[in-house]
Structure 1
């Protein structure tokens, strides 16, 4: 590594025309620059520069060596330019992981941005489990629920309201409940391995703990939503899942006087250091998109520490 530094320094000396000019450009003393050049010559076993009181000139081998050093310096400059561009303009591939329930939302959230940045590629990984972001080379993951401590970084995108819903067909058969406990235990639908929810009455403050043993379960939210639309039971769904279904009447919101704990949404990244522009801008766009959906409140905290595996409640 010392030889590489000396090669870059040698190229700077030649380009600036003197030891002192190179020293000023590099923030070093002239004697330190001279010592580094002499160390390079000793290691090479040949003279690279002719020195006089007025000027420096390259030896024959020094000229050939400088050409190679200049290419090294140019490559370093290009590498730094790439890093600078990545910090300020989105480019390259963005590897994004999200639950399957986000599949309908990535396009509306990121589509205009992708059209405006044709140099950017998007690789989508939809999954409802938890992936090791480093091993899978994921730049950004969207996750929901509580996140335990780890070395990964999380930024809150927003908080989603959760509403109990059923189909009109289910309501015709069972009627509309006034209390969560009036829903028969075998009529609940839910995600696998999700604990029961603590419900609170908005006016009286009464609390209900709804059993966490639904008759029909799935590992992904879209499947639970589809079971609910099919009239097979009552499901607690996020506003992100159900707004279009409530609008067109395929689902009906139940128990409006009862509140269910909301669900935080997170942007999780595997690194703590400064993020490239593609990651920063994608996080901002996802947060802006979620903030426009009824039932989603803005982030209460911008930065947090999080990591695998999340709890679903």
Structure 2
């Protein structure tokens, strides 16, 4: 590293034409600049400059060496410029991990405007319901649902999503009108869980609550599959309200017992523990926050 510093000093001396001018440019004293040049020549065992009382001239070796030093300085300046771009503007590849339920319009609505506004930004998406190692996969940020316990990551709570009990009209026509939570245990359940038997906690608008034991007829680890079985009229499932707004608006899904709802789930943006985030991550977090929470 010291040798690189001396090469930078040497190139500045040549560019400025004197030790004094180079010292002013570098914020050093002329004697310190002279010492750096002397150590450079001692280290290479080659004379680089002819010194007179009036001016400095390059030796043949010095002229050749200067070209290499100038190239190194240029590359260093380009590297600094690239870092500044990454810090100040959303450029480069943005790598995002999210649950598969976000693979529809939710991510598109949030990030398509960002990509249109910044042509230097590219996007790589990883959809997994299972959590992946953000550091190993070089993930810039992840969207996660539910409480976050990994202290090695930075989690930002965006807000909470309502969860709804949903059925297709065809299933409701078969099972009949549901008036109370007590009737739910007898229905066919479709669950995002491989455990056949589980408990469902419901809260009413008046503050009362119910805890029910239910058994899943269909259980899987993919929310989109659970939703498709629900749309096919195979039973009841718990769905996040923002993901099914279109199905609700079209009447493809209906809400059972709208006064009774499962506990909402927290939506988090998770990033590796870093002090300074590049602009692409900061811009993406803000875009996701506005879109996912409707703000």
TM-score (norm 1): 0.85
| Aligned mates of 2:211, 2:230 — CA distance in 1 | 21
Greater relative contact order (CA < 8 Å, ≥ 6 in sequence) = 1
| Deviation, structure 1 residue 138 | 1.9
2:213 aligned counterpart, secondary structure: coil
| Aligned mates of 2:186, 2:67 — CA distance in 1 | 79
1:135 aligned counterpart, secondary structure: coil
| Aligned mates of 1:117, 1:172 — CA distance in 2 | 50
Q: Which residue does the alignment assign to 2:136? A: 135
Residues 165-211 of structure 1, C-alpha deviations (whole Å, 9 max, x = no match): 111122222233343342025622211158644322221x2222233
Does the alignment pair 1:199 with 2:214?
no
| Aligned mates of 1:67, 1:150 — CA distance in 2 | 49
Q: Which residue does the alignment assign to 1:295? A: none
Contact preservation (8 Å) 2:98, 2:144: yes
Q: Which residue does the alignment assign to 2:43? A: 43
| Aligned mates of 2:144, 2:186 — CA distance in 1 | 28
Aligned length in residues: 292
2:28 aligned counterpart, secondary structure: coil
| Deviation, structure 1 residue 243 | 0.8
| Deviation, structure 1 residue 95 | 1.9
Contact preservation (8 Å) 1:201, 1:259: yes
Contact preservation (8 Å) 1:185, 1:214: no
Unpaired runs of at least 5, structure 2 = none
Of the three residues 231, 234, 238, the one matched with 1:232 is 234
Pairwise CA RMSD of aligned residues?
Answer: 2.1
Which of 186-195 and 280-289 deviates more? 186-195
Contact preservation (8 Å) 2:160, 2:267: yes
Q: Which residue does the alignment assign to 2:185? A: 184
Q: Which residue does the alignment assign to 2:79? A: 79
Contact preservation (8 Å) 2:231, 2:253: yes
Closer/same/farther in 2, CA of residues 212 and 268 from structure 1, 3 Å limit: farther
| Deviation, structure 1 residue 115 | 2.5
| Aligned mates of 1:152, 1:139 — CA distance in 2 | 11
Unpaired runs of at least 5, structure 1 = 293-297, 299-313
1:275 aligned counterpart, secondary structure: coil
Contact preservation (8 Å) 2:185, 2:212: no
Does the alignment pair 1:284 with 2:281?
no
| Deviation, structure 1 residue 25 | 2.5
Residues 74-114 of structure 1, C-alpha deviations (whole Å, 9 max, x = no match): 00001111111122222222222222111112222222322
